[in-house]
Structure 1
Amino acid sequence: MPAARAFALETLVEWGADLADRYDDVCLCVSELATNAVLHGVPPGREFCLTLAADGPLLRIEVRDSGGGHPRVMREGAEECGGRGLRLVAALVDDFGVTVHSPGKTVWLVFKAVAEVVPRLANSDETRGVHT
């Protein structure tokens, strides 16, 4: 998921987002959501869409895929090899959830900045996305 992490970090730096102390958290959460989309949500040959949107002091990140299923935070289990990603995301973000579409779903999360997240992109509509 290096491309998804790089896209998120590049976008935040270009926007000058007041989230510098949370860049690692943002990149980790993007990586977790993108990995989940590839492993559990995207049928073979399909893509997922990563979107970052600024709204005042809020940074909203969305990963949309066309697969079925509904992601959920798994209970703790020391013996389990996986299933910790969404629990980690839930601990790092200010809010998150799932919006179901037909087909697929969008897993979204929100980070609150100290000040407004103001995109510095020319002609920006405060949203930036990429298909991966």
Structure 2
Amino acid sequence: MNYAKKKKFSITTILIITSLFYILLFVLGIVAVVAMIYSLLIIVGVIAVIGSLIAYRTIQQAKIPQFVKKARGMKKLIKRQKTISNNLLYPSKDEFIVHELGEKWEVIGLSLNTILGLDSKKKK
């Protein structure tokens, strides 16, 4: 009789262990799916925050006028005691006026270069 009871006992033990194993797999499967959903939400959230920060910074940089950007570049070069490149330099006010209005003055027979004294500056 002990043998029969042990046999039944071992069969029920195996059934209980296998049923617990399937329940455990089911619970772990649900946990894995829930964890995957939350991990995807976290990843998407992090990507959204980083993307919005990059977009904000890019828009803020685009709003800064070119003159200010060049002035900041010159300031950095001056602090480092380096030479300022020609692309950062702006023409003087007189050169700008000649560039913008020189042709109109030449139509009436006057030269802005000589009036503003730019010819004598170039010869030096």
Which range, TM-score by smaller chain?
under 0.3
Q: TM-score w.r.t. structure 1 length?
A: 0.18
More strand, by proportion: 1
Q: TM-score w.r.t. structure 2 length?
A: 0.19
More helix, by proportion: 2
